[in-house]
């Protein structure tokens, strides 16, 4: 059921099948940068980008603040957000692989080769030049999960925004992977966000998440039923694939037998046609010989 460890202050951490009952697991949790840096990971949930505030599981976070720096890298853009909580946080925006002039993605070896040939002499006159539209060669920014295009052109230092995204750890520091954002029009909007964040912190995050025994048993049954349903669907899928393979094999054998029967009929018809052709040739030869004999007899009489 639940696990409890001494170094967690007596908090009860529930297994993954209970997380759907949590008020934070599937929600955009409004937090400050300082609280984000207080999040911890837990054994058993490695590789899931799942973090815990006390015993609340968190995977989606919403922050608001001002951009104080923007740094461009070949594969990502890093925005530094300051929300006046005493800490800053890096917001990472992925970039697509830049295309070459032909519209193909440049892989790492190809990019290295392109860098090596960048110092080569210019092409001779009349040779095709580079793409006249440099915008087509610029990489696009993408969301972290669906990799949908995301324009962050207005996100420059001094912009106040509300950012939503998932969390990851880079060099022991938690980062926000940007999914969506909205620019806050004025200070009132930022203050409303701070008020909602403070209310959520006091009413939800600061209160240990607790489930009753009946609720845990219900969630366990639902998880087992869901697992059985997934297993049944998997077995049904395998059975459908097996029946499809057997049906295709039967069709292949039936088509092959039909082809063999038709081939035998074609062979017999071809033999009949060859015999008929031979007889026609014999008749034609006899007719030519008769005409030749008749002609000779007529010439001899004359």
Q: Find all residues with CB under 8 Å of 92, minimum gap 6, and list them.
A: 76, 77, 78, 79, 144, 168, 170, 175, 176, 177, 178
Q: 12: number of CA atoms within 13 Å, CB side?
A: 14
Neighbour count for residue 18 (Cβ, 10 Å): 22
Q: Which CATH superfamily is domain 3-100+134-211 in?
A: Nucleic acid-binding proteins (2.40.50.140)
Residue tagged 């694939």 (tokens): 241
Mean pLDDT on 140-156: 90
Query: What's the pLDDT band for 252 if we cut at 50, 70, 90?
Result: very high
Pairing of strands 76-82, 60-72: antiparallel
| Predicted structure pTM score | 0.66
The Cα 98–Cα 137 span in angstroms is 6
| Residues sharing a CB contact under 8 Å with residue 176, sequence separation 6 or more, in sequence order | 36, 61, 63, 81, 89, 90, 91, 92, 163, 165, 166, 167
Q: Copy the structure tokens of residue 45.
A: 């949930």
Do residues 1 and 51 touch, judged by C-beta distance below 8 A?
Answer: no
**pLDDT over threshold 70, residue 125:** no
pLDDT at 99: 57
Q: Which two tokens stand for residue 130?
A: 């580079």
Select from 24, 22, 141, 123 the least CA-distant residue to 78. 141
pLDDT in tens, 257-275: 999 999 999 999 999 999 9
Q: Report pLDDT digits (tens) over 189-201.
A: 999 999 999 999 9
Separation between Cα atoms, residue 73 and residue 93, nearest integer Å = 10
Domain limits of the chain? 3-100+134-211, 212-302
């Amino acid at each position: 059921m639940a696990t409890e460890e001494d170094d967690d202050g007596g908090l009860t951490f529930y297994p993954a099948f209970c997380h759907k009952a949590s008020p934070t697991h599937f929600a955009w949790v409004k937090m400050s940068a300082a609280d984000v840096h207080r999040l911890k990971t837990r054994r058993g949930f490695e590789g899931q980008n799942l973090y815990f505030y006390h015993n609340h599981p968190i995977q989606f976070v919403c922050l608001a603040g001002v951009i104080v720096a923007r740094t461009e890298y070949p594969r990502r853009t890093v925005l530094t957000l300051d929300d006046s909580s005493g800490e800053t946080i890096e917001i990472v925006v992925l970039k697509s692989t830049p295309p070459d002039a032909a519209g193909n993605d440049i892989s790492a070896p190809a990019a290295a080769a392109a860098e090596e040939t960048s110092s080569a002499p210019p092409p001779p006159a009349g040779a095709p030049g580079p793409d006249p539209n440099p915008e087509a060669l610029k990489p696009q920014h993408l969301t972290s999960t669906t990799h949908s295009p995301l324009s962050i052109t207005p996100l420059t230092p001094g912009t106040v925004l509300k950012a939503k995204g998932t969390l990851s750890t880079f060099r022991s520091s938690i980062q926000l992977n940007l999914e969506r954002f909205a620019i806050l029009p004025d200070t009132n909007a930022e203050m409303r966000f701070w008020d909602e964040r403070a209310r959520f912190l006091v009413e939800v995050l600061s209160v240990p998440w607790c489930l009753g025994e009946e609720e845990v048993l219900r969630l366990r049954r639902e998880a087992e039923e869901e697992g059985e349903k997934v297993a049944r669907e998997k077995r049904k899928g395998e059975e459908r694939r097996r029946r499809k393979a057997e049906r295709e094999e039967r069709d292949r054998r039936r088509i092959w037998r039909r082809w063999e029967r038709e081939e035998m009929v074609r062979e017999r018809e071809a033999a009949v046609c060859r015999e008929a052709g031979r007889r026609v040739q014999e008749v034609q030869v006899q007719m030519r010989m008769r005409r030749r004999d008749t002609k000779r007899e007529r010439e001899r009489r004359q």
